[in-house]
């Protein structure tokens, strides 16, 4: 399996880090794109000194404890709209923008491709590939809602970073894993990041 993973400049770095960490344990390969604003937010939210996409990848894989790496990650520059994955002739199963800024959602909705994240999202739509946006914004204004609706109508999936609590989370990492698991469900990837809903109270 091959995927594109993108981090745009929104709060919610925990969702990206835990998703990358979980993906590392899935056989396959992914292309990783990290925007400069995403690096800044990552640095702020984790109180770390990451300065480039490789740092973000290394931090995600090693911050909690080292994982058994079964996945190969290929870092691609955010500004390189001529990269290999900028063309639909290169195939991937799905693309995830986690977290996604409202700026990125607006740009993709408008058909803009000023950076590699926007271009790959545009390619995903035109090639009818699975495209998932994980916005972390609250509240939504009318423009946000209209942009997300337009992307849904174009074939993308909007998966808000709204973790559930029926799995009885014990840490912020559990909340990140819940969203990672929901993304995996949409990508058709098996996981054990959280237990399936099993009611304990009978009606």
Kindly report, residue by residue over 13-65, the tens digit of the pLDDT: 999 999 999 999 999 999 999 999 999 999 999 999 999 999 999 999 999 98
Nearest to 17 by CA among 61, 49, 60: 60
Asked if 96 contacts 132 with a C-beta cutoff of 8 angstroms, the reply is: yes
**Whether pLDDT at 176 is above 90:** yes
φ/ψ (deg, to 5) at 107: -65, -45
Instruction: List all residues 6 or more positions away from 64 whose beta carbon is below 8 Å from its beta carbon.
Output: 21, 173
| pLDDT band of 203, cuts 50, 70, 90 | low
Radius of gyration of the chain (CA): 16
Q: How far apart are CA 122 and CA 125, in angstroms?
A: 5
Q: How far apart are CA 113 and CA 100, in angstroms?
A: 15
User: What is the predicted pLDDT for the residue at 143?
Assistant: 98
pLDDT, tens digit (0-9, with 9 covering 90-100), for 63-93: 998 888 999 999 999 999 999 999 999 999 9
137-159 mean pLDDT: 98
Q: Order of strands, edge to edge, in the sheet holding 71-75?
A: 71-75, 28-34, 2-7, 94-100, 130-135, 157-158
Q: Which CATH number fits domain 2-187: 3.20.20.70, 3.40.50.300, 3.40.50.1950, 3.40.30.10?
A: 3.40.50.1950
User: What is the predicted pLDDT for the residue at 82?
Assistant: 95
174-182 mean pLDDT: 96
Nearest to 115 by CA among 100, 104, 126, 128: 104
CA-based angle 135:128:37, to the nearest 5? Answer: 30
| pLDDT band of 195, cuts 50, 70, 90 | confident
Coil, strand or helix: which one is 26? coil
User: What is the predicted pLDDT for the residue at 201?
Assistant: 74
Query: So where are the chain's domains?
Result: 2-187
| pLDDT band of 198, cuts 50, 70, 90 | confident
109-115 mean pLDDT: 96
Chain centre distance of CA 96: 4
Q: How far apart are CA 69 and CA 96, in angstroms?
A: 20
Q: How far apart are CA 76 and CA 31, in angstroms?
A: 7
Coil, strand or helix: which one is 187? helix
Q: What's the pTM value of the predicted model, to 2 decimals? A: 0.95
């Amino acid at each position: 399996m091959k995927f594109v993973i993108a981090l745009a400049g929104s709060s919610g770095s925990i969702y990206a880090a835990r998703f990358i960490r979980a993906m590392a344990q899935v056989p396959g390969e992914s292309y990783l794109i990290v925007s400069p604003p995403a690096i800044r937010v990552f640095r702020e939210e984790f109180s770390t000194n990451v300065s480039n996409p490789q740092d973000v990848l290394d931090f995600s894989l090693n911050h909690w404890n080292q994982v058994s790496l079964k996945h190969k990650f290929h870092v691609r520059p955010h500004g390189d709209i001529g990269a290999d994955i900028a063309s639909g002739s290169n195939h991937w199963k799905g693309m995830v923008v986690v977290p996604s800024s409202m700026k990125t959602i607006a740009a993709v909705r408008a058909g803009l491709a000023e950076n590699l994240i926007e271009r790959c999202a545009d390619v995903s739509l035109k090639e009818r590939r699975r495209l998932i946006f994980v916005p972390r914004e609250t509240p939504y204004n009318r423009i946000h809602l209209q942009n997300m609706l337009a992307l849904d109508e174009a074939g993308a999936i909007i998966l808000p970073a709204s973790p559930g609590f029926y799995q009885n989370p014990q840490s912020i990492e559990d909340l990140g894993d819940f969203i990672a698991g929901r993304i995996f469900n949409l990508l058709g990837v098996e996981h054990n990041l959280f237990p399936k809903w099993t009611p304990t109270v009978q009606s």
